[in-house]
Amino acid sequence: MINTILWDVDGTLLDFLAAEKYGMETCLDEIGVKLTEEMLSVYSRINRSWWEKHEKGLCTREEIFEGRLKDFFGEYDIAYTDYDHFNRRYQIALGEAVFPVDDSLTLLKELRKSCKQYMVTNGSRVAQELKLAKSGIDKLCDGVFISEIVGIQKPEKAFFDYVQKATGYVKEETLIVGDSLSSDIKGGNNAGIRTCWYNPKGAPVRGEVIVDHEIKNLWELMEILEK
């Protein structure tokens, strides 16, 4: 029986792409640049590639924040080089933008009756603490683990060892739910716990990962837990 759920936040409980659009639109507007859909798509691709490097241990968090902006601004000849200021403003904007997925807050309230729930996220501390407070998720869960604070990121086994030590979760009774194969599902595999891939678009499985459960709507999780 599953009695503990480790939740990813961005792209799972909350719509990260919508928040990303809000954040980039807000911050680019402040430096006199109008965001287009094409620009947003290019930024998303660049951002994902940098986070994938980080998950593989090929770059630091600081290198992500500067590198993705250098790549993006260079792509569109945007003459702005105060990457640190832009990133700090962007993290705040990301935290201000809260877009729940699949009525996820109601689901969290329902699951509180039978499960312990913890947030496990690689997002920045500033953005995550803001959005978790604004959404009310921080009041609906039993704990929050942000990789920037822990000092280790998903999918590293050491990250999950830290969470297990702090919470006392039993591996056989724990499930991780997330949208990222390389971070959440790979992390669950490394930790030796069951995995549930949130895959609303029906993407194919990539990489050497084991997906125990797959859902397109978060509420499908209820059926999995009942079994």
Catalytic pick among 8, 102, 179, 184? 8
Distance of CA 211 to the CA centre of its chain: 18
Q: Which CATH class is domain 16-96?
A: mainly alpha
Instruction: Give the 3-state secondary structure of residue 224.
Output: helix
pLDDT for the residue 224: 95
What length is written for the chain? 227
What's the mean per-residue pLDDT of the chain? 96
CATH placement of domain 4-15+99-226: 3.40.50.1000
Q: Beta strands of 42-172 (E only): which ranges?
A: 116-121, 143-146
| pTM beyond 0.85, yes or no | yes
pLDDT for the residue 176: 98
pLDDT tens track for 80-135: 999 999 999 999 999 998 999 999 999 999 999 999 999 999 989 999 999 999 99
Residue 54 has pLDDT above 90, yes or no: no
Query: What does the alpha-carbon distance between residue 50 and residue 63 come to, in Å, rounded to a whole number?
Result: 8
Residue 162 has pLDDT above 90, yes or no: yes
pLDDT for the residue 168: 98
pLDDT for the residue 39: 97
Residue 62 has pLDDT above 90, yes or no: no
Query: What does the alpha-carbon distance between residue 118 and residue 122 come to, in Å, rounded to a whole number?
Result: 13
Q: How confident is the model at residue 61 (pLDDT cuts 50, 70, 90)?
A: confident
Query: What does the alpha-carbon distance between residue 206 and residue 41 come to, in Å, rounded to a whole number?
Result: 21
Q: Active-site residue 102, yes or no? A: no
Instruction: Return the percentage of the chain with pLDDT > 90, whole number.
Output: 93
**Residue ranges, CATH 3.40.50.1000, the chain:** 4-15+99-226
Beta bridge partners of 6: 118, 176
pLDDT for the residue 195: 98
**Residue ranges, CATH 1.10.150.240, the chain:** 16-96
Residue 56 has pLDDT above 90, yes or no: no
